[in-house]
Every structure is written in C-alpha cells, then in structure tokens.
C-alpha cells in the first residue's frame, strides 16, 4: 500500500485539495488549446501541464502504447500533487480513460472525446456529423461510439487527417498549403457541389487538439453552413461541473502561475507552444521531466 502511494498510484486524502492545481496532459503542445479554454473558463484555478513531446505523435501509435504513456503522464502529475486530471489529448482520451480510472480511483478525470461528441450532437440539425481526428482516434471508433450513444439516430463519417498535426506545429495554419491539405482531406466528405445537399454533414467535429489552429482553413473548405466544433470549451465546462460537484473548486484569489513540464526540448515546447496557447512562452517556463 505504501509503495503504491509512494509511486503515486493512490491519492492521499488531502484537506487542501481545492488549492491543488488541475493536472492536464497531452502528447505535446496541442493540449495547450484545451488549457487556454480551461484558463478562460476557470480563472481562479492553477494548472500543471505536461506535454509528452518526446513521444509525440500519439496518433500513429498502438492503443497499448498510448495507454501506457497516459498512465506514465498521470503518474508524474499525481506525484506532484493534482486534484483532478484533464486528458487534453483526443487519442489518449479515446483509449485511456478506463485504465486511468482503474489505476487512480478517486481522481476525477475528464477527457475531450465525450465533450466533443456532446457539442457535435448539440450543433447538428440533420443528424449527419463528420469527425476528423488522428489515425488512432478514428481507427478505435471512440468518437463514433460517443456520438451514437448521445444521439442514436446520428449518421457519422470519420476521417483521419494526420498531416494537420505537423502543419499546426510548423505554424502553417493558413495559406495555400494548409488549404490544399484541408481540401484533399475534406472535399470527399463535403463535395463542393453538394455542401447544402441532403447528403453532406452539417457539423464537423475537430477531434484532435491541433485542428482548432486550422479552423480558418477548414471553414473555408467546408463552407459557412457547416458548424465546426472545437471540444475545448465543452471540455472546460465539464471540468467546471466536476469541480463544483466534488467540492474541489479553488478558493477565490490569484491562482499560481501555470507550470509547464515537457519530456523533450523545452526551447521547442516554448516556441511552438506559444502558437497553441496564444501567448508567449519562455524556455525558462518549461521544466524537462523523464517519465
């Protein structure tokens, strides 16, 4: 028992839990789009963010590897003291929520797949929803299942768009290259002549942390009549509900500055991460950890 506690597998009961930060992890910098929404929705909370940049991308790895990585990321955050966990990576949310709940019973965990599915179901009028995500997320069918569960009549098409990930990291989020790639991926789902037709989806869920950066290019391809959904806001609302329900909300006051951990080069994390977070990050803001 003590060994498990030492390794961070059991949570000590702490009276000061509301003052602890919320732990957030992603395969890299993409989850900073989720952190940004969390900070906006929960200004009194402190955050500890871990980006597993050494092993990015998760989207091309097997479910077994992604599950193992998610357990290691969580162990690192729990060992540093967090009151709840946000899995800000769609690929990890798709496979690791149950293993995480088994490993840390009592640790509230919110992923991004269900909130994205919920937002998609709320937005659709025709019930025809498209999901774009990494290869792993699409292959495992987690979005398809979550949408079907919430909205059993839904017709769902899903497509992996792996090239969006390096484009976002390169900062090539608009312009001819981003639009050409978006066209290649999305036109089969939204044929130019039929975007308003009965057969085209009316809602597109961005099921990957990197894709909100390309939302402009995506919207230009799918047209203004399609609702483009970013799950970050819905996920932040779900986190707020959990904090309230569990009595874990931070007391009013100034939160601690967000702490950033990365498993690889902090310089790159800070440079690319700034694009995702929407503000400058300094190399000194990022500590390197080994999982």
Q: Which residues bind ligand DGL (CB under 6 A)?
A: 26-27, 30, 56-59, 89-91, 134, 137, 165, 208-210
Asked if 243 and 42 touch (Cβ cutoff 8 Å), the reply is yes
Nearer to ligand DGL (CB atom), residue 8 or residue 30? 30
Nearer to ligand DGL (CB atom), residue 27 or residue 203? 27
CB of 168 to ligand DGL, least distance (A): 9
Residue 188's contacts (CB-CB under 8 Å, 6 or more residues apart) are: 159
CB of 162 to ligand DGL, least distance (A): 8
CB of 10 to ligand DGL, least distance (A): 28
The residue nearest ligand DGL at its CB is: 59
The token pair that represents 165 in the structure block:
């990930």
DSSP class of residue 264?
S
CB of 170 to ligand DGL, least distance (A): 14
- How would you list the strands of the sheet with 47-51, edge to edge? 109-110, 84-87, 22-26, 47-51, 259-262, 286-288
The token pair that represents 213 in the structure block:
């950066």
- Helix then strand count (H, E) for the chain reads 12, 10
**Any idea which residues carry the catalytic annotation?**
89, 208
Please state, in angstroms and rounded to a whole number, the distance separating the CA atoms of residues 119 and 162.
22
Nearer to ligand DGL (CB atom), residue 202 or residue 212? 212
């Amino acid at each position: 028992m003590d060994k498990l506690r030492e390794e961070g597998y059991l949570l000590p009961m702490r009276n000061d839990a509301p003052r602890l930060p919320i732990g957030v992890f992603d395969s890299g910098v993409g989850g900073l789009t989720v952190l940004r929404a969390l900070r906006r929705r929960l200004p009194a909370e402190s955050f500890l963010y871990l980006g597993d940049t050494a092993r990015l991308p998760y989207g091309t790895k097997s479910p077994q590897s992604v599950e193992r990585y998610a357990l290691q990321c969580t162990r690192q955050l729990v060992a540093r003291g967090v009151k709840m966990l946000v899995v800000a990576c769609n690929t990890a949310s798709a496979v690791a929520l149950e293993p995480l709940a088994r490993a840390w019973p009592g640790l509230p965990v919110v992923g991004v797949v269900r909130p994205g599915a919920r937002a998609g179901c709320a937005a659709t009028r025709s019930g025809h929803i498209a999901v774009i995500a990494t290869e792993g997320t699409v292959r495992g069918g987690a979005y398809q299942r979550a949408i079907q569960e919430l909205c059993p009549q839904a017709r769902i098409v899903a497509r992996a768009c792996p090239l969006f990930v390096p484009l976002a990291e390169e900062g090539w989020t608009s312009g001819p290259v981003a639009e050409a790639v978006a066209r290649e991926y999305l036109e089969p789902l939204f044929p130019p002549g039929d975007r308003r037709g009965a057969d085209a989806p009316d809602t597109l869920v961005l099921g990957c942390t990197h894709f909100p950066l390309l939302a402009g290019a995506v919207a230009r391809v799918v047209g203004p009549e399609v609702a483009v959904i970013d799950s970050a806001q819905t996920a932040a609302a779900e986190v707020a509900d959990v904090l309230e329900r569990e009595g874990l909300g931070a007391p009013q006051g100034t939160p601690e500055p967000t702490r950033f951990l990365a498993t690889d080069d902090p310089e790159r994390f800070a440079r690319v991460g700034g694009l995702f977070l929407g503000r400058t990050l300094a190399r000194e803001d990022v500590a390197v950890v080994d999982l």
